[in-house]
Amino acid sequence: MITSKLTTKSQTTIPKKVRESLDLHPEDAISYIIEEDHAIIHKVTLTDSAHLKALESTLEEWASEEDSEAYDNL
């Protein structure tokens, strides 16, 4: 098992073996899929980035301060 710790700002370093396995480099983007009690990490490709950017505008309705307060502790 590969692990890492969160900082007080909820940041972490992606372990070297994970970076190598996903061919991750500085400035690469990653995505997370949440499934019940675990998360799956993926490297985001340029095609994925364009798709996610297009979707971003459809999610703006949930970007309010009230939504942040309601969902921050989930």
pTM of the model as a whole? 0.57
pLDDT, residue 53, reads 75
Distances from the Cα of 69 to the Cα of 28, 62, 65, angstroms: 29, 11, 6
Q: Report the alpha-carbon distance of residue 3 to residue 49 in Å, rounded.
A: 27
Residue 53's contacts (CB-CB under 8 Å, 6 or more residues apart) are: none
- Has residue 7 been placed in a domain? no
- Of residues 53 and 40, more confidently modeled: 40
- Has residue 4 been placed in a domain? no
- Please tell me the total count of domains within the chain: 1
For residue 67, is pLDDT > 80? Answer: no
pLDDT, residue 64, reads 75
- Has residue 8 been placed in a domain? no
Q: pLDDT tens digit string along 6-50?
A: 999 999 999 999 999 999 999 898 999 999 899 999 998 877 667
- Has residue 10 been placed in a domain? no
Which residues span the domain enclosing 37?
A: 16-71
pLDDT, residue 3, reads 94
